[in-house]
Structure 1
């Protein structure tokens, strides 16, 4: 479930834009600072998401039927709970986690 939540969170990071900034704060220096700060966080969130997916794959590859079913049910429940807003905003969805 956490993997689906994190995927939704990562997608929400890309939805935010600079319209929230007051006009006085839109200097190139401030915009570059905000871009690099947000880009670093997005990159870290991306790496964390792939690390979680890789660990889930390793757990699945133990060929333990109970763990495999738990992972599949977790993905399904997580998608049911968290992906609703992600799909409304962007109907094209990533196939790969």
Structure 2
């Protein structure tokens, strides 16, 4: 079964976030179904988080695995900074 347009949108936005996270030194892998990013800090390898992407009334948003929003997909750099901040706080 071919991927639905919504899945392509998720993958696109997650790819943008992955680029930003990799520039900040994190390791990122894209899970294909449902689309989500598995993010790890290569310095600790114990710290990992999953972020997906969801459409809401105000646009598309990145979302933590526990359901809280990370930020708008319009600003993947800001979302990446938030992910880095959360992972750093766990060290």
TM more than 0.5: no
Higher relative contact order (CA 8 A, sep 6+): 1
TM-score (norm 1): 0.27
Work out which of the two has the higher radius of gyration on C-alpha atoms and give 1 or 2: 1
TM-score (norm 2): 0.28
The structure whose residues are more often helix, as a share, is: 1
